[in-house]
Structure 1
Amino acid sequence: MIETLRHPVEDDHARVMAVMDEWWGGLGGESGHLFRTSLLPRLYFQHFTDTSYLLDLPGGKLGAFLIGFLSQSEPGVGYIHFVGVAPAVRRTGVGAALYRRFFLDSAARGVRKVHSITGTGNQQSVAFHTRLGFTLEPGDDEVDGLPVHRNYDGPGRDAFKFARHLP
């Protein structure tokens, strides 16, 4: 199977939007759909393409994507904003490979710390980030013994916040 890893282009926005419900299994119903799609407006596919990645599978299918950027406010900091992996290629190392690519490319640009978040209901994401060397940052409360940031992205949008130092 020949895969192609590349930077996304503006036309990829529609491709990513088209897989959101399938890849997340309809999580949260209509409100979950609206929340996920609101996190990825077209501007990410216009202005953050050189720090983001998209994996094309044979036959033109989308295999995975990572949307990330370098902080303009905090030099030396990168942020992984949104990542998706097609159900058919999960648990193959694709997600970790996307993160490692972001780490390498960001470090080459002077980044020494990468941040990311995940929702409190996503224990698989917590485990994934921990395996990749992220640590949970202190929060203002706890969920299942883990530090959480209440209302991080607005009322009721609690999040675990991660940081990983790069060599």
Structure 2
Amino acid sequence: MAIHIEPARIADFHQVLADHPRYWGDRDLRSLHVVALVQEFGPTCLVARAADGIRGYVFGFVTPDGTGYAHLIATRDDTRGSGLGRRLYAAFAAAAVRHGARRMKAVTSVANAGSIAFHRGLGFAVEVVDDYNGPDRPMAVFRHERPVDLTEG
């Protein structure tokens, strides 16, 4: 089945929220899904579309200092392990570079072992930053200094 990665539309945003458990399981991360990301940073918010719907997505933006920040990345439960997450990240990195990114960044909870392993597999350095998300709320912060080609390694 062909999967095409393309800029997200507002309707796509609403669809991934409607299908939230398919991407995130029991974790309720709907509050992290902000429609303004798609409205204001459309070229760096991408969906992986197939005939049977949205298989995955990445919502991100480029900061004023040239950091491509991947805010959310998810693949649907029936697509995990297919390499789509890596493809989405590579497409996001390419879009971010077109909009001035010179490096990449992402953040997750310190308990999210799957995300930590995924980002390490892409070559991101990981650092636990105490109080990153407020007092006594450490986060795993990922940094990658070469945003152009995340398909390596």
Same fold (TM over 0.5): yes
Judged with a 3 Å threshold, the aligned counterparts in structure 2 of structure 1 residues 155 and 14 are, in CA distance, closer, same or farther, namely farther
What residue identity is the alignment partner of 1:54?
V
Judged with a 3 Å threshold, the aligned counterparts in structure 2 of structure 1 residues 18 and 155 are, in CA distance, closer, same or farther, namely farther
Aligned match of 2:55 in 60, 63, 67? Answer: 63
Residue 12 (structure 2) pairs with residue 12 (structure 1): yes
What residue identity is the alignment partner of 1:5?
I
Residue 139 (structure 2) pairs with residue 159 (structure 1): yes
What residue identity is the alignment partner of 1:164?
H
Q: Is the 8 A contact 1:12 1:45 kept in 2?
A: no
1:75-154 to structure 2, matched below 5 A, reads 76-137=66-127, 148-154=128-134
Q: Structure 1 stretches of 5 or more lacking a match? A: 28-32, 138-147
Most deviating of 103-112 and 84-93: 103-112
Most deviating of 92-101 and 106-115: 106-115
Judged with a 3 Å threshold, the aligned counterparts in structure 2 of structure 1 residues 9 and 123 are, in CA distance, closer, same or farther, namely same
Give the Cα separation in 1 of the matches to 2:96 and 2:138.
27
Q: Is the 8 A contact 1:116 1:163 kept in 2?
A: yes
What is the TM-score normalised by the length of structure 2? 0.87
Residue 105 of structure 1: how far off its partner (Å):
2.5
Judged with a 3 Å threshold, the aligned counterparts in structure 2 of structure 1 residues 15 and 157 are, in CA distance, closer, same or farther, namely farther
Give identity over the alignment, percent: 28
> Which structure has more RCO (C-alpha within 8 Å, separation ≥ 6)?
2
Residue 23 of structure 1: how far off its partner (Å):
2.3
SS in 2 for 1:90: coil
Q: Structure 2 stretches of 5 or more lacking a match? A: 149-153
**What's the counterpart of residue 45 of structure 2?**
52
Give the Cα separation in 1 of the matches to 2:96 and 2:39.
19
Residue 24 of structure 1: how far off its partner (Å):
1.9
| CA RMSD, 1 decimal | 1.7
Q: Tell which structure's C-alpha radius of gyration is larger.
A: 1
Deviation >4 Å, runs of 4+:
none
Judged with a 3 Å threshold, the aligned counterparts in structure 2 of structure 1 residues 121 and 130 are, in CA distance, closer, same or farther, namely same
What residue identity is the alignment partner of 1:80?
A
SS in 1 for 2:33: coil
What is the TM-score normalised by the length of structure 1? 0.80
